[in-house]
Amino acid sequence: MKNPLDSLWGTVIAGLLLTALLYALARSAMGG
């Protein structure tokens, strides 16, 4: 499997997905 970080757009998309994941974690940690 190709490393998404080798592509600039793969890097940006990975960053956006990580943002969504961390947002959900933050919301849950703050009590929804």
Q: Compute how many other C-beta atoms are within 10 angstroms of the C-beta atom of residue 14.
A: 14
Cβ(30)–Cβ(24) below 8 Å: no
| Residue 11 CB, nearest approach to another protein (Å) | 5
* Window 1 to 32, contacts with another protein (CB under 8 A): 3, 5-6, 8, 11-12, 14-16, 18-19, 22-23, 25-26, 29-31
**CA angle, 3 as apex, 23 and 28 as ends, to 5°?**
15
Give the binding site for another protein (CB under 8 A).
3, 5-6, 8, 11-12, 14-16, 18-19, 22-23, 25-26, 29-31
